[in-house]
Structure 1
Amino acid sequence: MAVTTTDLIMGPADLYIGSFGATEPIDTAINSAPAASAWTDLGGTQDGVKLSVDQTYTALEVDQVVDEVGGRLTKRLFTVETNLAQPTLENLKFLLNDGTAASGAGFKSFEPIYASSATQPTYRAVILDGYAPGQLRRRFIIRRCLSNDKVESSYKKDGMTLFTVKWQGFYVSPSIAPFKLIDATS
């Protein structure tokens, strides 16, 4: 296979977060930022944004054949992870899947959710806007997700304070795919 240099991709991605069920940008708007009324720009990132889709296929076996005769998809785990370079209380609320924010003269505060673990978490949707082959745009939409990994932040004299985050996607419905990829073609 010959190398097609225009298919090589390099460059940063932008991250947006919205409510679960937020109106998604139409496919033809791939070169435009998502509507600010439905999507919040999470700001700068550091060390890139990683998209991961981990699929597990369970083997089909029969006594009459020594080889596995096929496989069926039995599990899929898809995530987006990054380090947010803007460790604001607003971003922390998204990373901890909601909470209570307050502000007043000269202060802002945040308290995490502390209700029973039996309550439904606040699901969100995430958009990753990056590059596709040909230096065109690619959009990855996770339609229902939670921040479900350890959120860390460190303060160092010789490094930036960051928020680590990993959003895991979840099933939506029988008629709605859990994620979608859109590439611009011109």
Structure 2
Amino acid sequence: MAVVATNLIMGPADLYIGNFSALEPLDTVVNTTPAASSWTDLGGTQDGTKLTIDQTYTDLEVDQIVDVPGARLTKRLLTIETNLAEATLENLKYLLNDGTAASGAGFKSYDPIYGSSATQPTYRAVIIDGYGPNQFRRRFIVRKCLSNDKVESTYKKDGQTLFTVKWSGFYVSPSIAPFHIVDATS
């Protein structure tokens, strides 16, 4: 197979977060910024944005043959990992799946959720806007996710403070796929 150089992809992606069930941008507007009324730009990132789709197939088995006759998809884990370079309280609220933000004359504050652990978490949706083939835009929408790994922030004299985050995607419904990908073609 010949290499098609225009299919090689390199470059950063922008991250947006919205409420679960937020109005998604139409496929026809993949080259435009998602609506600020539904989506919040999470700002700069460092060390890229990693999307992982980990699929588990379970083998089928019969007594009559030694070969595996097939397999079925039995589990899919979708994760998005990045380091947010803008270590704001607003971003921390999204990384800790909600909480209470306040501000006043000369200050801003944040308190995490601290009620019962049995309460329903605040699911979000995440958009990764990056590049696809031919240097056109590629949009990846994860429709239901939670930040469910540790959130780290380090203060060092010789290093930038970042928020590390890992979102996991979840099942939405029998009629809505958990994620959607669209590539611009012009």
Specify if TM > 0.5: yes
2:92 counterpart residue number: 92
For 1:22-101, list aligned pairs within 5 A. 22-101=22-101
The residue type paired with residue 63 of structure 1 is D
The CA deviation at 1:158 is 0.9
The CA deviation at 1:54 is 0.1
Give the distance between the partners of 2:33 and 2:148, measured in 1 at CA.
26
The CA deviation at 1:146 is 0.2
The CA deviation at 1:65 is 0.7
2:127 counterpart residue number: 127
The residue type paired with residue 47 of structure 2 is D
Which consecutive residues of structure 1, in runs of 5 or more, have no partner in the other structure? none
The CA deviation at 1:89 is 0.1
Give the distance between the partners of 2:2 and 2:175, measured in 1 at CA.
39
Q: Deviations over 1:64-104 (max 9, x none)?
A: 01011100000000011100000000000000000011111
The residue type paired with residue 5 of structure 1 is A
Give TM-score, length-normalised by structure 2: 0.99
Give TM-score, length-normalised by structure 1: 0.99
Classify the secondary structure of the residue corresponding to 1:139: strand
Pairwise CA RMSD of aligned residues? 0.4
The residue type paired with residue 127 of structure 1 is I
1:2 counterpart residue number: 2
The CA deviation at 1:118 is 0.6
Give the distance between the partners of 2:158 and 2:13, measured in 1 at CA.
25
The residue type paired with residue 60 of structure 1 is L
Classify the secondary structure of the residue corresponding to 2:111: strand
Which of structure 1's runs of 4+ aligned residues deviate more than 3 A? none
1:160 counterpart residue number: 160
Tell whether 2:103 aligns with 1:103.
Answer: yes
Give the distance between the partners of 2:98 and 2:156, measured in 1 at CA.
27
Which consecutive residues of structure 2, in runs of 5 or more, have no partner in the other structure? none
Give the distance between the partners of 1:104 and 1:73, measured in 2 at CA.
52
1:16 counterpart residue number: 16
Q: Deviations over 1:137-165 (max 9, x none)?
A: 00000000000110000011111000000
1:112 counterpart residue number: 112
Identity %: 78
Give the distance between the partners of 1:75 and 1:117, measured in 2 at CA.
26
Give the distance between the partners of 2:27 and 2:71, measured in 1 at CA.
33
Classify the secondary structure of the residue corresponding to 1:93: helix
